[in-house]
């Protein structure tokens, strides 16, 4: 098991490099960028990623609080959430790196790695680039240092306590609060449900138009928690282009395709061996097993409902084999 590093590291170099960007370290990992690529180093190796792909992956990892399970930035670099601490790895889930002895893993307290990743994202994101947006809706991540875009990278993530539109909870999206209908969803009706509650229950009976709400999403591949019932979370999202990470599950998650189409590549979580290619169209439902990793491809903006079980005991139950990785045995 990795030793957990809980000391506050030096966030990064004070002086920028020749491209205008700061260099960062986390444990024995190093992070630098030039005009086109992000470079990750560790004692036994070095890896290079296109910087736009790196920033999109980093943005999701931070915004999700390192999400659950494994967030692979690509086939080499990523993180594993242990809910209080986070592993940063290189080559851990790559058979070739492991066989060559080039894999590396370090564990950090969540607050420590979060602080460093936030600093990297803020310094490396230029003014024209929004890592949350689809490629058609943002400027370029490339080139020398050119300002910053803190407003985009720190935008509010919806996490309802009960449900969107409930009194004192997350509001619905409207033109007035800065959420116009997306260019791909102009045909989505914007009707508002009529609720007639018995006297005394006006704050308890709530409804909103989910399709209208999603048609106004300003981000892609970033689930919003719109309703909560104990550990049951409804987390819909809008998707366009490619999921910026390869997500490795530590529990079963259910996908309900609400509109259009997403194609999924489903691989073994540990080895990356291809298990399936799944095409989901409006009305399709799929259960993604607890022992896989997946990546989605959406030819146009689409709506997806991710139904999550947030029970904290699930990862250990699946890891121990006490629960099968699939919800149904055929």
Q: CATH number for the domain including 209?
A: 2.60.120.10
User: How wide is the angle at C-alpha 6 spanned by C-alphas 123 and 89, nearest 5°?
Assistant: 65
Q: Which residue from 289, 252, 237, 298 is spatially nearest to 267, judged by alpha carbons?
A: 289
pLDDT of 323 over the 90 cut: yes
pLDDT for 8: 57
Q: For a pLDDT cut of 70, what percent of the chain falls above it?
A: 97
Task: List, for residues 153-167, the tens digit of each pLDDT value.
Answer: 999 999 999 999 999
Q: Residue 126 — very low, low, confident or very high, per pLDDT cuts 50/70/90?
A: very high
Same domain, yes or no: 187 and 137: no
Range of the domain at 290: 157-218+220-320
Task: List, for residues 52-69, the tens digit of each pLDDT value.
Answer: 999 999 999 999 888 889
HSE of 58, CA atoms in CB hemisphere, 13 A: 27
Q: How many CB atoms lie within 10 A of CB 23?
A: 17
pLDDT for 160: 97
pLDDT for 330: 81
Supply 267's token pair: 């691989």
Same domain, yes or no: 177 and 313: yes
**Mean local confidence (pLDDT), 97-104:** 96
Task: List, for residues 230-266, the tens digit of each pLDDT value.
Answer: 999 999 999 999 999 999 999 999 999 999 999 999 9
Same domain, yes or no: 276 and 263: yes
Is residue 325 one of the residues assigned to a domain?
no
pLDDT for 188: 98
Supply 312's token pair: 């904290």
pLDDT for 6: 67
Tokens 């009707």 found at: 191
Q: How many domains does the chain have?
A: 2
Same domain, yes or no: 163 and 310: yes
pLDDT for 12: 72
Task: List, for residues 127-186, the tens digit of each pLDDT value.
Answer: 999 999 999 999 999 999 999 999 999 999 999 999 999 999 999 999 999 999 999 999
pLDDT for 67: 81
pLDDT for 295: 98
Q: Alpha helices, DSSP H only, in the chain?
A: 51-63, 95-99, 110-124, 150-153, 210-215, 314-320
pLDDT of 10 over the 90 cut: no
pLDDT for 203: 87
Judge contact between 103 and 92, C-beta under 8 A: yes
Same domain, yes or no: 107 and 23: yes
pLDDT of 73 over the 90 cut: yes
**Mean local confidence (pLDDT), 38-47:** 97
Supply the mean pLDDT for the chain: 95
**Mean local confidence (pLDDT), 309-318:** 95
24-31, long-range: CB < 8 A, 24+ apart: 24/116, 24/119, 24/120, 24/123, 26/88, 26/106, 26/108, 26/112, 26/113, 26/116, 27/88, 27/106, 27/108, 28/104, 28/106, 29/88, 29/90, 29/104, 29/106, 31/120
pLDDT for 9: 58
pLDDT of 112 over the 70 cut: yes
pLDDT of 13 over the 90 cut: no
Is residue 29 one of the residues assigned to a domain?
yes
Is residue 328 one of the residues assigned to a domain?
no
Is residue 142 one of the residues assigned to a domain?
yes
């Amino acid at each position: 098991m990795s030793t957990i590093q809980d000391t506050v590291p030096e966030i990064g170099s004070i002086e920028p490099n020749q491209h205008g960007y700061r260099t960062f370290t986390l444990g024995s990992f190093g992070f630098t960028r030039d005009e086109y690529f992000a470079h990750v180093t560790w004692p036994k190796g070095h890896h290079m990623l296109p910087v736009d792909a790196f920033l999109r992956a980093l943005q999701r990892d931070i915004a999700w609080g390192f999400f659950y399970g494994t967030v692979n930035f690509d086939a080499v670099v990523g993180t594993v959430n242990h809910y209080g601490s986070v592993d940063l790895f290189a080559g851990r889930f790559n058979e070739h790196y492991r066989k060559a002895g080039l894999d590396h893993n370090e564990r950090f307290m969540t607050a420590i790695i979060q602080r460093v990743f936030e600093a990297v994202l803020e310094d490396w994101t230029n003014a024209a680039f929004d890592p949350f947006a689809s490629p058609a809706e943002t400027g370029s991540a490339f080139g020398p240092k050119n300002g910053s875009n803190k407003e985009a990278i720190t935008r509010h993530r919806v996490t309802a306590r009960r449900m969107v539109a409930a009194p004192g909870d997350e509001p619905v999206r409207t033109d007035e609060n800065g959420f116009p209908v997306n260019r791909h969803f102009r045909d989505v009706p914007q009707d508002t449900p009529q609720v007639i509650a018995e006297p005394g229950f006006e704050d308890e009976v709530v409804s909103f138009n989910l399709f209208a709400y999603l048609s106004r999403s300003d981000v892609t591949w970033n689930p919003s928690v719109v309703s909560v019932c104990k550990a049951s979370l409804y987390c819909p999202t809008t998707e366009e282009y490619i999921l910026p990470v390869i997500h490795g599950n530590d529990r079963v998650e259910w996908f309900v395709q609400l509109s259009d189409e997403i194609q999924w590549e489903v691989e073994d979580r540990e080895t990356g061996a291809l298990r399936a290619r799944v095409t989901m169209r409006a009305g399709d439902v799929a259960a993604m097993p607890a022992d896989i990793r997946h990546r989605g491809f959406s030819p146009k903006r689409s709506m997806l409902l991710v139904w999550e079980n947030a029970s904290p005991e699930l990862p250990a139950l699946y890891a121990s084999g006490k629960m099968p990785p699939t919800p149904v045995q055929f």
